[in-house]
Structure 1
Amino acid sequence: MDGQLRLGDRWLSFDAEKTLAARRGFVWQPNVHSGLGLGFSGADFSVDGTGGQRFALAGLVPIVRSSGEAIDRSSAGRFLAESVWLPTSFLPMMGAEWDGIDDRRARVTLPTVEESLTVTVDGQGAVESIETLRLDGDTGEMRPFGAIVKRERTVNGFTIPSRVEVGWGFGTDAYEPFFRAKLREASFH
């Protein structure tokens, strides 16, 4: 994927690879470009309930090292939201439990995450948005979190989001997007 990540008031471009495994977690490995010749790279992850972040400036100088219970819980919320890129994780045979809300929204709960995810579809069944409550690691508060799905595409028979905008305060007047991404390619194993 590639896109933009907001840090403070600046939007920085990135390219990244993501690995998702149903019921296990994710590893996101971006290369973030500052435009000043100094970028940073590393990983943001949640694997088997343990979350963390490890980033270094120019691949050498550590700038972010985070872990602990709050990061574990926040990363689990991110894993829940990003599972939309791995539709098989939402199958009942994988432990997912679904509840209908109305004719356009349903709530899904995964066995490894405390919170549930609300999925909203349009009249043709395309995913419009996803939202959940997620622990904000900066404030320690549970906050609305979600994504607007701007475009989908089908890869190996799976229809997944191909362009998204993600932010805190989702569905409120305080919505703050901080991530925009476009899926370049995907594979399923």
Structure 2
Amino acid sequence: MEAADGRYAAEAVVWSPAALLPGPGITWAAVDDDTAHVTIRHGDLSQAVDVRVDKEGKPVAASFQRWSNANPDKVHRLQPFGAVMSDFREVAGYRLPFHVEAGNMFGTDDYFPFFIANVTAIRFPKTGGTGP
């Protein structure tokens, strides 16, 4: 469950940061001039993610400790995981990354991105209301 919780938090930062607006279960704190720390709580689960933004406020990197056995020892443990987002484009009023790389051991010499996405199109479903 811990691995899925971490993945949910990271994917929210990358693909739908508006889902992490302050509210029940979501708290933010400044780390430094370009990094914020968001904690997501749901029941007994809690996941913290550091989000680095560029000078325009775009989230360009997310990092956290993820429960995984993707290490030389093949032992489940908390270890660095992260993503880098780039090639931001505006789609229906949202600025979204069209290039994302993510992987284990983020921020270390052993970092290896196993997820690399080059988005070719983003379409929002018709809501029938006032949405995108």
TM-score range, shorter chain: 0.7 to 0.9
Q: Rg bigger for which structure? A: 1
Q: Structure 2 CA distance, aligned partners of 1:140 and 1:155?
A: 38
* Structure 2 partner of 1:176: 112
Give aligned pairs, total.
118
SS of the aligned residue for 2:114 comes to: strand
CA distance 1:160–1:95, shift in 2 (3 Å): farther
Q: Structure 2 CA distance, aligned partners of 1:149 and 1:111?
A: 24
Gaps of 5+ in 1: 1-71
Q: Structure 2 CA distance, aligned partners of 1:94 and 1:88?
A: 14
Q: TM-score, normalised by structure 2?
A: 0.80
SS of the aligned residue for 2:110 comes to: coil
* Structure 1 partner of 2:22: 92
* Structure 1 partner of 2:36: 106
Deviation at 1:73, TM superposition (A): 1.3
* Structure 1 partner of 2:85: 149
SS of the aligned residue for 1:123 comes to: coil
* Structure 2 partner of 1:43: none
SS of the aligned residue for 1:114 comes to: strand
* Structure 1 partner of 2:124: 187
Q: Is the 8 A contact 1:96 1:110 kept in 2?
A: yes
Q: How does 1:15-164 map to 2 (within 5 A)?
A: 72-84=1-13, 85-93=15-23, 95-112=25-42, 113-138=45-70, 139-164=75-100
* Structure 1 partner of 2:130: none
Q: Structure 2 CA distance, aligned partners of 1:88 and 1:173?
A: 32
Q: Structure 1 CA distance, aligned partners of 2:35 and 2:116?
A: 23
Percent pairwise identity: 35
Richer in strand (by share): 1
Deviation at 1:156, TM superposition (A): 2.4
Deviation at 1:125, TM superposition (A): 1.6
Runs of 4+ in 1 over 6 A off after TM superposition: none
Q: Structure 1 CA distance, aligned partners of 2:110 and 2:54?
A: 24
Q: Is the 8 A contact 1:87 1:158 kept in 2?
A: no
SS of the aligned residue for 2:3 comes to: helix
Encode CA deviations 1:3-57: one digit per residue, 9 max, x unaligned.
Answer: xxxxxxxxxxxxxxxxxxxxxxxxxxxxxxxxxxxxxxxxxxxxxxxxxxxxxxx
Deviation at 1:131, TM superposition (A): 0.5
Q: Is the 8 A contact 2:41 2:47 kept in 1?
A: no
Gaps of 5+ in 2: 128-132
Q: Structure 2 CA distance, aligned partners of 1:114 and 1:161?
A: 26
